[in-house]
Amino acid sequence: MHNKTIAEIARDLRNKQYSSVELTRHFLDRIQQHQELNAFVSVADEHALGQAEAADKALAAGDAPLLTGIPIGQKDIFCTRGIKTSCGSKMLDNFESPYDATVVEKFKQNGAVMPGKLNMDEFAMGSSNETSFYGAVRNPWNVDCVPGGSSGGSAAAVAARLVPAATGTDTGGSIRQPSSLCGITGLKPTYGRVSRYGMIAFASSLDQAGPMTRNAEDAAILLQAMAGFDGKDSTSVEQDVPDYRAELNNSLQGLKIGIPKEFFSSDLNADIAAVVNSAIAEYQKLGAELVEVSIPSLNQSIPVYYVIAPAECSANLSRFDGVRFGYRCENPQDLADLYTRSRGEGFGAEVKRRILMGTYALSAGYYDAYYLKAQKIRRMISEDFKKALSQADVLMGPVSPSTAFGIGEKTGDPIEMYLSDIYTIGVNLAGLPGMSVPAGFVDNKPVGLQIIGDYFAESRLLNVAHQFQQVTDWHQQIPQGFE
């Protein structure tokens, strides 16, 4: 059961090969068996089985939505009514949201079962899932390695077949990088495509939720459920949602693939370059043409990101003050003590580091030099991407400069950690959609290919990924011990 895709499970449920309750029990058992991965922050057995029972009734009645009865894991950044929403932080270890995020609500409307909440870097700040208050998640391909981050729990759970699919969020690569490191398919949609309401904000102008699945078709199915305008999110875009599966089988004959030369500089690890290049060669066999393009401002993306994202997070995280919800220190002596100790004790080191950086960047006298300058360069980066995309249908390159690294290997060096996102951050700054698709292995560890498309070109990205998955089987590889 657990090796099936969503499309297959949906068919099986309708053919009564097994019930949603059986399916849900099976996955709950697997979650239980593989606690060593630390992929989940909360497991919602009863809740999930209740939903599964309801789903079985709906399936029996007929005309149930496609996702009915299928367990989908939620990253613990999405507010879920009645189930703890921690965002990977001690600050919210006691927080139960009184409302559901729009994404959660949409999955409910689509009949999906929610088996639990997935581990993540604290407030989505990290590239290894090591900043979580609940501890590091282990990579199923090598349990001594990180799964990537911040959606590390989601990536590990999907790769280990603890859930058929999961949600993630991507602010600087947090869907694509862990997807690459865990050998799954991840899609960060265009900024504004999926509602951010109820998704705990890290950097509001960059955050975007998306699916993390085992293949492109499943990603299309999940995105179908997630996407759409939401009146509760002013930055969500009022644009029709296409049928994301409609173009999956389109031919790639004549597809123009832009190869940004900055993605293939001498800094890129040769083994990873080889995997990416052979994937691109596969596309040529499918009839695609290569065009060299350039994104000259790409090397600015990390510094720009590390001004804008911390600046936004420094304000977004001000609400965690110990007053209304979340962690409150013991016996506060006065207001200042309440604030400083609640925040000092409730936040982890990486979160504090970013709040401090952001506060500094926005301070009087520094605003122009940092925040304003960063916004200007951000526009340049967008322009560079737009120009590249005017010369090609999609762009391709690596997702991450390395494969999964060892737990603890980079925790002492934040800058080294930040560089993990060098190929993914530009896409967030430009607001474009991007995907990570399994493309091979280096030393038994998965490597992803990044595909970047134009605004709202998710259908095209899914088509390009799906066609690749018709002629390769990297996405079907199962980590040892999780077969």
Q: Which residues are catalytic?
A: 75, 150, 174
Q: Which residue has the tokens 């259908």?
A: 459
Of the candidates 92, 295, 395, 396, which one interacts with other proteins according to CB under 8 A? 92
- 430 contributes a contact to other proteins by CB under 8 A: no
Q: Do 73 and 118 contact (CB within 8 A), yes or no?
A: yes
> Cβ closer to other proteins: 13 or 311?
311
Choose among 214, 251, 182, 194: nearest CA to 77: 194
Neighbour tally for 344: CB within 10 Å: 10
Of the candidates 11, 57, 319, 379, which one interacts with other proteins according to CB under 8 A? 319
Surface-to-core class of residue 413, CB atoms within 10 Å of its CB (0-12 exposed, 13-18 middle, 19+ buried)? exposed
Q: Per residue in 306-339, is it b (16+ CB within 10 Å) or e — as a string? A: bbbbbbbbbebbeebbbeebbbbbeeeeeeeebb
> Cβ closer to other proteins: 243 or 367?
367
Sheet holding 185-188, edge to edge: 40-43, 116-118, 72-75, 165-170, 208-213, 185-188, 434-442, 445-452, 394-398, 256-260, 289-293
- 275 contributes a contact to other proteins by CB under 8 A: no
Neighbour tally for 429: CB within 10 Å: 28
Listed ranges 218-226, 256-264, 362-370, 409-417: which one lies at the site for other proteins (CB under 8 A): 362-370
Q: CB of 43: closest distance to other proteins in angstroms?
A: 21
Q: CB of 429: closest distance to other proteins in angstroms?
A: 13
Q: Do 342 and 332 contact (CB within 8 A), yes or no?
A: yes
SS3 289: strand
Strand positions, DSSP E, 371-433: 394-398
Of the candidates 283, 327, 371, 468, which one interacts with other proteins according to CB under 8 A? 371
- 307 contributes a contact to other proteins by CB under 8 A: no
Of the candidates 10, 59, 118, 311, which one interacts with other proteins according to CB under 8 A? 311
| String of contacts with other proteins for each residue 125-164, x by CB under 8 A | ----------------------------------------
Q: CB of 73: closest distance to other proteins in angstroms?
A: 18
Surface-to-core class of residue 185, CB atoms within 10 Å of its CB (0-12 exposed, 13-18 middle, 19+ buried)? buried
- 78 contributes a contact to other proteins by CB under 8 A: yes
Two structure tokens written together for 305? 């990101």
Q: CB of 147: closest distance to other proteins in angstroms?
A: 24
- 27 contributes a contact to other proteins by CB under 8 A: no
Q: CB of 362: closest distance to other proteins in angstroms?
A: 4
- 99 contributes a contact to other proteins by CB under 8 A: yes
Q: Which DSSP category does 299 fall into? A: G
Listed ranges 128-136, 232-240, 267-275, 439-447: which one lies at the site for other proteins (CB under 8 A): 232-240
DSSP notation for 286-355: TT-EEEEE--GGGGGHHHHHHHHHHHHHHHHGGG-SSSSSS---SS--SHHHHHHHHHHHHS-HHHHHHH
> Cβ closer to other proteins: 13 or 199?
199
Distance of CA 206 to the CA centre of its chain: 12
- 170 contributes a contact to other proteins by CB under 8 A: no
Listed ranges 64-72, 158-166, 315-323, 455-463: which one lies at the site for other proteins (CB under 8 A): 315-323
Of the candidates 18, 229, 339, 441, which one interacts with other proteins according to CB under 8 A? 339
Residue 460: phi and psi, rounded to 5, are: -65, -45
> Cβ closer to other proteins: 156 or 313?
313
Q: CB of 231: closest distance to other proteins in angstroms?
A: 7
- 362 contributes a contact to other proteins by CB under 8 A: yes
Two structure tokens written together for 191? 């900024």
- 233 contributes a contact to other proteins by CB under 8 A: yes
Q: CB of 450: closest distance to other proteins in angstroms?
A: 25
- 231 contributes a contact to other proteins by CB under 8 A: yes
Of the candidates 116, 198, 348, 398, which one interacts with other proteins according to CB under 8 A? 198
SS3 396: strand
Strand positions, DSSP E, 76-136: 116-118
Taking the C-alpha atoms of residue 159 and residue 332, their distance in angstroms, rounded to an integer, is: 44
Q: CB of 348: closest distance to other proteins in angstroms?
A: 16
Distance of CA 11 to the CA centre of its chain: 26
- 315 contributes a contact to other proteins by CB under 8 A: yes
Q: CB of 199: closest distance to other proteins in angstroms?
A: 6
Q: Do 94 and 47 contact (CB within 8 A), yes or no?
A: no
- Interface residues with other proteins (CB under 8 A) are 78-79, 85, 87, 92, 95, 97-99, 101, 196-201, 203-205, 231-235, 311-312, 314-315, 317-321, 323-326, 335, 339, 359, 362-364, 367, 371
